[in-house]
Amino acid sequence: MLKIENLSFSYGKIQAIKNVSFELKKGEIMAIVGANGAGKSSLMKCIAGLLKPQNGTIYCGDTLLEPIPFKVVENKVVLVPEGRWIFPNLTVEENLMMGGYTVNDRSPGIQHAYRMFPRLEERKQQRAGTMSGGEQQMLAIARGLMANPKVLLLDEPSLGLAPLIVNDIMSIIQEINREGISVLLVEQNARKALGIAHHGCVLEQGVIVKTGTGAELAQDESIIAAYLGGTKKKEQ
Ligand code: ATP
């Protein structure tokens, strides 16, 4: 569905992504886990066309994605960015409409978003900036769905949220995936991400150092030591 080959990106002398290759299979959730500064957001921005890689290719199906944001969205690859970037002064409904702005076929549209996120319908006339962090994250995801993606790129959706809300967000990601949308999920919360991912990659200093199924990676001793709090049983 999404094939990344030999992708490299540098901010001047800082090489954030080094020769990264992986494939997100159709209908799957793939988690990219790694520490602060590993290059996760840079990778997502390259896929979304917000950064122009110095090397490498990105295919969605058979289509080569040009690093131009609106063209990436036209190809049904949609980023929900780290930090949400909702429009705080617009209402919930206006934010959703902005998400569907670039697409001609607005299906499945706002009603679908409200079915998936009933709380957003309750608050559709509320200014988005006055909602809780969890609600704002739901809005950011729902706004992404308005572009009718085949591939949803989720950058740190659990960041700054309480554990119970994180569980809700992970369930929503699984529900989205069950509807047929492939998901690339970038997370520092490796335990949660690997818990719902079909496959995963570990990114360290811009390099993919390990790949496997979500279950394999969650059981890997070195990953447990580095990212999962040092014990197989511990819940975050
Ligand atoms: P975090 O979870 O903290 O956002 P990350 O894994 O998403 O981390 P990136 O934000 O992609 O990592 O950063 C990768 C590397 O690129 C880091 O060394 C970071 O300092 C550097 N970097 C990120 N953005 C810039 C920028 N705008 N200019 C220069 N260097 C940057």
Convert the pLDDT of each residue in 157-193 to its tens digit: 998 888 889 999 999 999 999 999 999 999 888 889 9
Between CA 174 and CA 170 the distance in angstroms is 6
Among protein residues, the one whose CA lies closest to atom 29 of ligand 1: 11
Give the residue from 50, 47, 27 showing the smallest Cα distance to 183.
27
| Pocket flag, ligand 1, residue 37 (CB < 6 Å) | yes
Between CA 152 and CA 150 the distance in angstroms is 7
Q: Which residue has the higher pLDDT, 21 or 161?
A: 21
Q: How far is CA 232 from CA 30, 58, 165, 197, in A?
A: 21, 35, 22, 17
Residues linked to residue 22 through DSSP beta bridges, in sequence order: 4
Q: Which atom of ligand 1 is nearest to the CA of 82?
A: 4
Joined together, the tokens standing for residue 87 give: 């429009």
**Residue 164, φ and ψ in degrees, nearest 5:** -65, -40
Among protein residues, the one whose CA lies closest to atom 28 of ligand 1: 11
Q: Tell me what the pLDDT averaged over the chain comes to.
A: 90
Q: Domain 1-76+150-160+173-236 - what CATH class?
A: alpha beta
| Pocket flag, ligand 1, residue 125 (CB < 6 Å) | no
Contacts of 47 (CB under 8 A, 6+ apart): 2, 4, 58, 65, 72, 77, 79, 153, 184
| Pocket flag, ligand 1, residue 189 (CB < 6 Å) | no
User: Does residue 108 surpass a pLDDT of 90?
Assistant: no
Condensed to tens digits (0 to 9), the pLDDT of residues 26-77 reads 999 999 999 889 999 999 999 999 999 999 999 999 999 999 999 999 999 9
| Pocket flag, ligand 1, residue 13 (CB < 6 Å) | no
Q: State residue 46's pLDDT score.
A: 97
| Pocket flag, ligand 1, residue 16 (CB < 6 Å) | yes
Q: Which atom of ligand 1 is nearest to the CA of 38?
A: 6
Ligand 1 pocket, mutate which of 41, 44, 85 (most atoms under 8 A from CB): 41
Strands 182-187 and 29-33: parallel
Q: State residue 234's pLDDT score.
A: 46
Q: Which atom of ligand 1 is nearest to the CA of 12?
A: 29
| Pocket flag, ligand 1, residue 76 (CB < 6 Å) | no
Q: Which atom of ligand 1 is nearest to the CA of 45?
A: 11
Domain boundaries, the chain: 1-76+150-160+173-236, 82-148
